[in-house]
Amino acid sequence: MSLLLIHGTVQTLCTAAELTLPATLIHCLTRREARGLLAEVLCGMISFLAVSTLFIFILINAYRERHSKRGRLFKTPIELYLVSLFLGDFMHGLGTTLQLKWAYEGKIRSGAYCDVQGSLIHVGSTIMAMTTLVIAFHTFIVVWRGVKTDSMFVPTIILGAIWSYTVLFAAISRRIFNGPKNPFYQPAPYWCWISNSLFHRIIGQWLWMWLASISSLVLYLLLFLWVRGNITVQPEYPWWKFKVHRRVRTFNQTRMRRYAYIMIAYALIYAVFVFPLSIVRWITYVHNYRGRVSPLPPEATFATMSVYNLIGISNILLFFFTREGLLFFKDHPQTSVVVTFPTINVTTTIEFSSVGKVNDSPVAESF
């Protein structure tokens, strides 16, 4: 039975015996930390419920459209990527929801429950990062080069590799590096996560989060300048050969700007959620690794993690506002406007709908 004990000047809910265990096996929460953890969990639950609701609607719509002319379940690569992204959101949200046990008991303990909770957060976050990275490159290729990529073979291979790498990494690492006093998933310290190994944390999750954030920002910045009229693309040359110039006002500014902002929203939101958390976690890890106390208060970790846990509901909102017509969701009545922007010796025409989405073009078909 857990009792309120005073350990030094800090109150915890751990027993006297539990206070003697190493940090790799248990972390005793203070009242202050328990409140912060609860707030972080509630944010994760919001995303978990939002993603769960989306999947329910997708299944209902799929059942209603089972006899329609749609045919296969996924019509375009972007639908496959979005399902992978939402599954990552779902797993991360479920892992965060399981942290309610830690907030209620006032302690994080290694064991089977810790392994499940830690693996869900680890796998879910990595899938989210890798899929976001793939969506960024897919969008860039389709829009920048105007390449029609409606084949499902390559996306299936890519996502198969992503899920295989992530799941096998988690399973094999836990099997090989799981020790009695140093488990692979252990208190980190406010929830269970990858053990205190910099190598495993980088290749298991951090690397992909950083790549997704930085790459998405760079690619979508190029797309924004291209759509805005500051870049001229040469389709007959490699993608990196383009001209940067003053803004060319030969197209409907409102529609193009709206579309550019929608495209860049995914990257900006992901970066806003990831970078603060990465900085806080990195500072904390470096100080703990050197045997020092982190200068950051626990509230910094809980605040940044709370923001990161809202990424699921943010992805859902972006989907509803910018990806209508996908995954069995019907389009609303729209009005369209055709905008033309110049390339060197080439004129490219794309049709934009009233909601800022591309219609009836190679770009639309590829998405």
Question: Looking at the 3D structure of the chain, how many domains does it have?
Answer: 1
pLDDT band of 53, cuts 50, 70, 90: very high
- Residue 154 structural domain: 5-366
Query: What phi and psi values does residue 3 have, to the nearest 5 degrees?
Result: -120, 155
- CATH assignment of the domain containing 343: 1.20.1070.10
pLDDT tens sequence across 318-345 = 887 776 566 656 554 443 333 333 333 3
Average pLDDT over residues 225-250: 73
Report the pLDDT averaged over residues 280-292. 77
Let me know the angle formed at the C-alpha of 236 by 233 and 242, rounded to the nearest 5 degrees: 25
Per-range mean pLDDT, top range of 13-27, 46-60, 104-118, 283-297? 104-118
> Tens of pLDDT along 73-129?
777 888 888 899 999 999 999 999 999 999 999 999 999 999 999 999 999 999 999
Quick: pLDDT tens for 197-232. 888 999 999 999 999 989 888 888 887 787 777 777
Burial of residue 112, with CB atoms counted within 10 A of its CB: 0-12 exposed, 13-18 middle, 19 or more buried: exposed
Confidence of residue 350 (pLDDT cuts 50, 70, 90): very low
What span, in angstroms and rounded, lies between the C-alpha atoms of 15 and 145? 63
What is the rounded average pLDDT for all residues in the chain?
A: 79
Q: Following DSSP, what letter does each residue of 234-283 receive, concatenated?
A: -TTS-TT-EEE-SPP--S-HHHHHHHHHHHHHHHHHHHHHHHHHHHHHHH
Is the Cβ–Cβ distance between 117 and 48 less than 8 Å?
Answer: no
* Statement: residue 349 has pLDDT above 50: no
